[in-house]
Amino acid sequence: MALLPILHYPDARLHKKARPVDVVDDRIRRIVRDMAETMYEAPGIGLAATQVDIHERIVVIDVSENHDDLLVLINPVITWKSEETQVYEEGCLSVPGVYDEVRRSARIKVEATNENGERYGFDAEGLLAVCVQHELDHLEGKVFVEYLSYLKQSRIKTKLRKLERQSA
**Residue 131 annotated as binding site:** no
Amino acid at the residue 137: D
The DSSP code for 146 is G
State the catalytic residue, choosing from 135, 140, 146, 164.
135
Helical spans, DSSP H, in the chain = 26-41, 126-139, 150-167
**Residue 138 annotated as binding site:** yes
Is 135 one of the annotated active-site residues of the chain? yes
Which residues have a Cβ under 8 Å from the Cβ of 148 and sit 6 or more positions away? 100, 102, 156
**Residue 92 annotated as binding site:** yes
The Cα 162–Cα 151 span in angstroms is 17
Q: 87 exposed, middle or buried (CB, 10 Å; 0-12, 13-18, 19+)?
A: exposed
Which residues have a Cβ under 8 Å from the Cβ of 51 and sit 6 or more positions away? 6, 7, 14, 93, 94, 138
Q: Which residues are annotated as a binding site for Fe cation?
A: 92, 134, 138
Which residues are part of the catalytic machinery?
Answer: 135
